[in-house]
Chain A
Amino acid sequence: MRQRLTLETAPGPLEHLPFRFERWTDGRVLVTNMVGEHVFLSEAEFSALADLRIADPALLRTLRAKHVVRQRGETLPVELLALKYRTQHHRLADFTGLHMFVVTLRCEHSCGYCQVSRRTVARTEFDMSAETAVAAVETAFRSPSPHLKFEFQGGEPLLNMEIVRLVTQEAQRRNRDEGRQLAFVIASNLALLDDEVLDFADEHDVYFSTSLDGPQDLHNGNRPRPGRDSWERTIAGVTRIRKRLGHHRVSALMTTTAASLGKVRDIIDCYLEQGFHDIFLRPVSPYGFALRPRQRRAYDMAAWIDFYREGMDYILELNARGTPVVETYSALVLKKMLTNANPGYVDLTSPAGIGIAALLYNYDGAVYASDEGRMLAENGDMTFRLGDLAEDSYDTLMTGAALLDPLEESYTGSAPQCSDCAFERWCGADPVFHHATTGDPVGRKPESAFCNRNMAVFRYLLDRYTADPHARELFHAWAAR
């Protein structure tokens, strides 16, 4: 007869692997390991973990499985953690996939929260020139990323289609030798969409991204234009694009203004009515409240958090009833929480996404690390201006002090509070934001709207994930997107 092995709990001395924790008001403790895998413990279980006196075999199994503790000398947990860590950081090797072109500052809208547009539609001094456009394409192709996404912004990019065409054709011409994956997106309010633009989009596989703030009155209130018909024109544009190019060729982005607060259900309903199943409950570009705190549309982050929670409750309810809707920001967060993939979204990348994920070429040839960096520059703050296409190459842009200093300082692994925050692996640092709000790129986290917003999102998602099996399943599906 063989000697039967018993189900041993603690075969040898245990030791902690690196972990962090955060207390919940109901007494539970969130524990995250070195790569952001999480487990909730009761207070008693947590003290058992802290003192390494773990009597409950199931708890010990969970903590070993989640790489929170190991038996002394075990190498497999180290190897697996290293593999996960390496995978999470792999994306950083794909430098600079997103290239934004501000082809003109002109716009026929005059939105209250817009920081940049010039209403004078006739004046072309705010248009990107052909030389600048070609130099920007050249720079974009210097990035080592195998995927290059060209996004046309404004102002209203449809007011300078000439440059949009030039950039697209130039990029495709260059790519004949390079064979990278190219994508083109026009971010437009669609008011000026016509057949010529559609022909062009059809021929060159161009996608559209438009702004839709929600129901008609809300949207038109946010986005004044002569005729007060922004919403109607956007919807008409969406319909035309879908009819001509297919349903998936246009996506929509909303901005939460003070007028949106309390209307999240209406906004989500409007998206569904218009056939959009992805919605990004996005705070007004943080710089909205950061830079002009006294302006009419300002609201504080606490109000946005309520807005988000109510919206998510509704979205989960809709999904449970069989109507698929995805909240894009939550989906990105969940990807980081539940997988080793790094979605590379600018706000959620540490080291901060600036420069690494994106470069922005302004109409005048100035290069910024992000859209927000450009907005600061419009307000006279040149901190995040990386250089100028007329003078700098990709290499000098990317190694410039303007890029690297805030990058290093913002790295969440070393910023105060972030360095022992249990959410850190899912979070990101946003140096431009912190610079704009506090004058230094690290920011004081307890007062930082960025930190408050992310913490609220993490807590909300974790609460639903642990409490509700349907949400858990849905969240795994979102994380897989």
Chain B
Amino acid sequence: MSDSMPGRPDAVLTLDAAAHPADIVQRAAYRFSDVLTVELDRNGDTLVCRVYARDPQRLGSAIHDLRAEIVDQVLRARIRDETQDLRNLVLSVAFSRTGLAGPAA
């Protein structure tokens, strides 16, 4: 996410690092990569997220959207982890020869 990082960020978000792993914040930022880029720094228990706007005019709503998106990404990650095994089970059944109908379901 680093185009040409100018010195001063246009905004800085401080997040609880335990609840917001860096890759999740990156995923959220990726969805707005047409509007902004971010730089992340872990600082003890906090994650510092420096935001650089491509178009400073649109920064206000973009920050708001980014925050909401980070929350959603946390949820997405949780669902993904939680359902990982079921997903694999569905795939293995889908491409097995007989489906679940056999004795060992």
Binding site for B on A (CB under 8 A): 15-21, 23, 34, 50, 75, 78-79, 81-83, 85-86, 89, 416-417, 420, 444-447
Contact = CB atoms under 8 A, between A and B. Distances in A.
A444 B1 CA distance: 11
Nearest to B93: A82
B105 A75 contact: yes
B73 to A, nearest CB: 8
A416 B30 contact: yes
B75 A447 contact: no
Interface stretch (B4-12, B14-22, B40-48, B80-88): B80-88
B32 A446 contact: yes
B100 interface: yes
Interface string B73-105: 101100110110011011101110001110001
Nearest to B89: A78
Nearest to B101: A79
B94 A86 contact: yes
Interface range on chain B: under 10, 10 to 19, 20 to 34, or 35 or more? 20 to 34
Contacts of B82: 15-16
15 contacts: A19-B83, A20-B79, A23-B72, A34-B90, A75-B105, A78-B89, A82-B91, A82-B100, A83-B94, A85-B90, A86-B95, A417-B30, A420-B76, A444-B30, A447-B33
A89 B27 CA distance: 28
Nearest to A89: B94
B76 A20 contact: yes
Residue with the greatest number of chain B CB neighbours at <10 A, chosen from A16, A417, A420, A444: A420
A21 B94 CA distance: 23
Nearest 3 interchain pairs by C-beta = A82-B93, A82-B94, A18-B83
B35 to A, nearest CB: 8
B31 interface: yes
B34 interface: yes
Contact of B99 (A18, A83, A89, A416): A83
Nearest to A76: B100
Contacts of B68: 23
Contacts of A444: 30, 33
Contacts of A445: 30-31
Contacts of A79: 93, 99-101
B27 A81 contact: no
A363 B12 CA distance: 57
Contacts of A20: 76, 79
Contacts of A16: 79, 82-83
A23 B91 CA distance: 27
A18 B34 contact: no
Nearest to A46: B75
B86 A447 contact: no
A420 B90 contact: no
B34 A446 contact: yes
B33 A420 contact: no
Given A34-B90, A78-B93, A82-B94, A50 B34 contact: no
Given A16-B83, A18-B83, A50-B75, A82 B33 contact: no
A75 B100 CA distance: 8
B33 A34 contact: no
Contacts of A417: 27, 30-31
Contacts of A17: 83, 86
A415 to B, nearest CB: 11
B80 to A, nearest CB: 7
A431 B41 CA distance: 33
Contacts of B73: 420
Contacts of B35: 446
Contact of B34 (A78, A82, A447): A447
A18 B83 CA distance: 5
Contacts of B100: 75, 78-79, 82
Contacts of A82: 90-91, 93-94, 99-100
B58 to A, nearest CB: 13
Given A85-B91, A420-B27, 4 more contacts: A20-B79, A23-B72, A446-B32, A446-B33
A318 to B, nearest CB: 35
A18 B87 contact: yes
Contacts of A420: 27, 73, 76, 80
Contacts of A81: 90, 94
Nearest to B88: A18
A81 B89 CA distance: 10
Contacts of A23: 68, 72
A446 B30 contact: yes
A19 B79 contact: yes
A350 to B, nearest CB: 15
B13 to A, nearest CB: 19
Contacts of B79: 16, 18-20, 50
Interface string B20-64: 000000010011111100000000000000000000000000000
